[in-house]
Each structure stands twice: as structure tokens, then as C-alpha cells.
């Protein structure tokens, strides 16, 4: 061996030259071995990132289904029985419109008789053709009225769709909030259980209060009860959504609630909607306006009833015992001389019914204006509320980071650090829940302004 001096210090540096080459090769081998294990560790962290985040608050990744909100709406349009009823009502009204068209022509009746016993010895078979009374003016009014009734049926169908889509949207977003809340609550429960385990270990060392430990255990039980209640509400909301969609209640409904607000609103923020838009597009107001048109036709029909009805009579009589056989054709007028002024009173009643519809339209317009103002107020307040809860979540996150540094430095106990983490998750839950008020208000605003389908192209119909 040889030595090398550095000032007053003496260090042994090498062996003999032959042994020196061996030691150099062995050190290189150890260096490559160390690098190999570092590569293995890095590969494990890249392939299994959950390992580096393992802890009481680790959450399993969630899988999503293929029923997003537009898909739910499209499914409901085909399978919902509520929509099927309104479609059948449209078909019924269309059939009545065809009946009204048939009254433009007179009705012709064929009457046959076979006389089993007859005084004369002529043929026993009698065949006659008759034409009943015919009123073309009333037929034209009926056609016009039934055409408007078909339009009312279509508007009722669209209104039912708009109402159900609004309900589906609120339920869908509530499911989204519940799923996020349950995930957060499970994180809090895991952190709470971590505090319980910490308290048990400290109690075994004689450095923890048993009463505090019991309080932590009871808090964990309370957290589990919250989770059970929210999971029960989640199942109820999914069942409600199935009923609105016409989905089988026993089948699994794979939902995709990611970015639920954008799925529902598609960027709609309500700023472009004015009360004039609400008055022009609201389906209930449009239905009442159509009903007023029908009522106006009924008033006209009551006046027409005062006019003599034209009469066209065609007869072809053969082999009747009380009639002369042959062909008869006659025209004339049919008029009631006295009916106790019932037709005059009918005009007044139909006019009063029209006044009632005007009052209904005015009241509906006032209700819509109040709803419009309330929704505007809710949207203004929701912005401030969401900002507050976002700031609370940010402050809780900063507080957790500060607590983590204090805990690493040994200045903060473990259970206090876990408490900061729980407060951060609680703040995130509150922030997520604060958005629901704004989403519900936008859904209601879009609904009274004609329906969500007018502002979300993904659910147009």
C-alpha cells in the first residue's frame, strides 16, 4: 500500500497496482447495479402511480358508462310513456280533423227493408237512399278549429318533453354532485379511520386520552352514516331518472356524469335571454293563445247558429208501404223559430269563456315575469356564493400545505395534520355542491324560454 498526504492529514488511497485494477472494476460493477435498481424503481412508479400515493385518502379510479345526458334524452324520446301519451293525443286530434273535413260533403244513407208480411202482392224488398241535413259553414269552422287543436296537441307534446327534460337535467346533475360528494366523504372516512388508528397506537403508549379516541370512533361512525344516506339518495335519483327515461327499473343504468353542467347546458349562461324571449317562446303562453283562437271560432259558430241552415234532400224510394216510389230532390232552409233564446245566451257564454282565457294569459304572463326576475336574482347570487366556496376551498388547500410542512418539521401532531386534510376535502365538497343552485336556475330559465333543446344542440328534437 501507499499513502498520499494532504497537508497534515494522511489518507490511505490505493492498493498495489495489480489490486488497483481489480478494485476499479468492482466499483464500476457496483455503480451499474445501483443504476439498474434506480431504473426498476422509476419504472414501477411510472407503471403504478397509485403506489406513490398510497395512503388513507387514496381513491380508486372510477369507470364511466355510455349514458351521458344527451343519450338519456334521446332514449327518453323513444321509450318514455309520457311522450307516447302526448303523441297518441296528437294522432287522436288529427283523426278528428279528418272527421271535420268529411262534413264538407252531405252524408248519404242507404236503408233497406224486407217485408215479411205485406198487404199488396208487390216485392217484399225495399231499398231507399237518403241525404241528411248539411251545413257547410259550420263544417268550415270545425275544420279551422280542429286544425288549431292539432297545433295545441303538438305544443302540449313539446311542453311535456321540455318539462321532462328539465326534470331529467336536474336529476342528472344531482347524481353528478352526489357521486362527487360520496367520493369526498369516503376520503374523509379514510382519514378519520387513520386518526382512529393513530389514537389507538398512542393510547397503547399511554399518551392519548381514551375519551378523545371514543369521540374519533363515533365521528367515523357518523361519517359512515352520511355516506349511507347519500348512497341511498343516489339510488333514488337513479331510479327517478330511469322512470323519466322509460328505462327498465331493474336494469343497470351506466351513466357518464363527467362535466355534467356542460352536457346539460352546452355553454348556455342565460345572459342572452330577455323577458321578451320568454313571452315569445314560452310554450304555455303559446298554448293559451291557440286556445283563444279556438274560442274565437266558437263565438263565430254561435253567431252562425242564428242563420238558417241550408237543406239539400235527395231521396230514391222503392217499395215502401208508406211512401211513393221514385226519385225526389229538394233544396230549402232549416230554421228554429223558438228555442227560449238559448242561441243568444250561447253567444254570451262563448264570449265569457274567451274573456276567461284572456285573464289566464295575463296571469300566466305575470307568473312568468316573477319567475324570470327570481331566476335572474338566483343567478346573480349564485356567482357570489360560488366564489366564496371556491375561495374557501383554496384557503383549505393552502392550510393543508402549511400543515404538511409543519408536520414534516415535527411542529404539528399527525392527527392535527389529518384534520387539515379533512377540512380541505370538506371544502371541496361544499364548493362542488354550491354550483347546483346556478345549474338548476339556468335549467328553469331555459325551460320557460322554450326548452333546453333550443339552447343545447345535442338534445334538439
Ranges 103-117, 258-272, 355-369: which has the least confidence: 103-117
Question: What's residue 320's pLDDT?
Answer: 67
Question: What's residue 108's pLDDT?
Answer: 80
Superfamily of domain 65-459 in CATH is Outer membrane efflux proteins (OEP) (1.20.1600.10)
What's the pLDDT band for 321 if we cut at 50, 70, 90? low
Is pLDDT above 60 for 240?
Answer: yes
Q: Which of 346, 240, 257 is nearest to 295 (CA)?
A: 346
What's the pLDDT band for 34 if we cut at 50, 70, 90? low
Question: What's residue 22's pLDDT?
Answer: 36
% of residues, the chain, pLDDT over 90: 59
Domain ranges within the chain, ordered by starting residue: 13-54, 65-459
Is pLDDT above 50 for 388?
Answer: yes
d(CA 10, CA 26): 25
Distances 327 to 83, 283, 314, 330, 333 between C-alpha atoms, Å? 53, 56, 8, 10, 20
Number of helical (H) and strand (E) elements in the chain, helices listed first: 12, 6
pTM (two decimals):
0.77
d(CA 178, CA 15): 72
Which residue did the predictor score with more confidence, 310 or 25?
310
What's the pLDDT band for 216 if we cut at 50, 70, 90? very high
DSSP code at position 46:
H
Question: What's residue 319's pLDDT?
Answer: 65
Write down the residue that cell numbers 372510477 correspond to.
62
Question: What's residue 53's pLDDT?
Answer: 37
4 by DSSP, 3-state: which? strand
What's the pLDDT band for 156 if we cut at 50, 70, 90? very high
d(CA 146, CA 138): 12
Is pLDDT above 70 for 229?
Answer: yes
Amino acid at each position: 500500500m501507499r499513502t498520499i498526504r494532504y497537508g497534515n492529514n494522511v489518507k490511505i488511497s490505493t492498493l498495489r497496482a495489480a489490486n488497483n485494477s481489480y478494485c476499479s472494476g468492482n466499483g464500476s460493477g457496483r455503480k451499474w447495479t445501483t443504476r439498474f435498481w434506480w431504473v426498476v424503481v422509476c419504472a414501477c412508479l411510472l407503471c403504478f402511480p397509485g403506489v406513490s400515493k398510497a395512503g388513507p385518502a387514496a381513491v380508486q379510479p372510477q369507470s364511466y358508462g355510455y349514458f351521458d345526458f344527451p343519450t338519456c334524452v334521446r332514449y327518453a324520446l323513444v321509450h318514455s310513456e309520457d311522450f307516447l301519451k302526448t303523441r297518441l293525443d296528437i294522432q287522436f286530434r288529427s283523426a278528428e280533423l279528418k272527421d271535420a273535413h268529411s262534413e264538407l260533403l252531405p252524408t248519404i244513407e242507404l236503408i233497406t227493408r224486407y217485408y215479411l208480411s205485406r198487404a199488396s202482392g208487390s216485392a217484399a224488398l225495399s231499398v231507399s237512399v237518403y241525404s241528411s241535413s248539411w251545413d257547410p259553414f259550420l263544417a268550415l269552422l270545425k275544420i279551422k278549429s280542429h286544425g288549431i287543436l292539432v297545433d295545441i296537441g303538438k305544443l302540449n307534446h313539446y311542453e311535456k318533453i321540455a318539462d321532462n327534460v328539465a326534470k331529467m337535467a336536474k336529476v342528472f346533475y344531482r347524481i353528478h354532485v352526489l357521486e362527487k360528494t360520496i367520493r369526498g366523504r369516503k376520503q374523509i372516512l379514510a382519514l378519520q379511520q387513520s386518526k382512529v388508528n393513530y389514537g389507538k397506537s398512542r393510547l397503547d403508549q399511554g399518551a392519548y386520552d381514551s375519551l378523545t379516541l371514543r369521540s374519533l370512533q363515533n365521528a367515523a361512525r357518523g361519517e359512515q352514516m352520511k355516506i349511507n344516506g347519500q348512497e341511498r339518495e343516489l339510488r333514488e335519483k337513479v331510479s327517478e331518472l330511469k322512470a323519466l327515461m322509460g328505462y327498465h327499473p331493474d336494469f343497470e343504468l351506466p351513466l357518464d356524469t363527467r362535466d355534467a353542467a356542460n352536457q346539460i347546458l352546452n355553454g348556455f349562461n342565460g345572459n342572452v335571454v330577455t323577458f321578451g324571449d320568454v313571452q315569445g317562446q314560452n310554450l304555455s303562453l303559446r298554448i293559451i293563445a291557440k286556445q283563444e283562437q279556438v274560442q274565437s271560432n266558437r263565438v263565430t259558430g254561435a253567431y252562425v247558429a242564428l242563420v238558417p241552415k241550408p237543406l239539400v234532400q235527395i231521396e230514391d224510394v222503392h217499395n215502401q208501404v208508406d211512401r211513393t216510389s221514385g226519385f225526389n230532390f229538394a233544396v230549402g232552409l232549416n230554421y228554429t223559430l223558438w228555442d227560449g233564446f238559448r242561441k243568444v245566451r250561447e253567444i254570451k257564454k262563448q264570449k265569457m269563456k274567451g274573456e276567461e282565457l284572456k285573464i289566464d294569459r295575463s296571469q300566466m304572463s305575470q307568473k312568468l315575469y316573477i319567475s324570470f326576475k327570481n331566476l335572474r336574482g338566483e343567478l346573480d347570487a349564485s356567482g357570489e356564493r360560488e366564489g366564496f366556496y371556491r375561495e374557501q376551498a383554496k384557503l383549505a388547500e393552502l392550510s393543508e400545505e402549511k400543515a404538511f410542512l409543519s408536520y414534516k418539521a415535527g411542529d404539528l401532531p399527525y392527527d392535527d395534520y389529518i384534520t387539515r386534510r379533512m377540512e380541505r376535502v370538506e371544502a371541496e365538497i361544499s364548493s362542488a355542491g354550491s354550483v347546483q343552485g346556478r345549474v338548476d336556475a339556468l335549467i328553469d330559465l331555459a325551460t320557460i324560454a322554450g326548452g333546453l333543446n333550443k339552447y343545447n344542440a345535442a338534445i334538439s328534437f
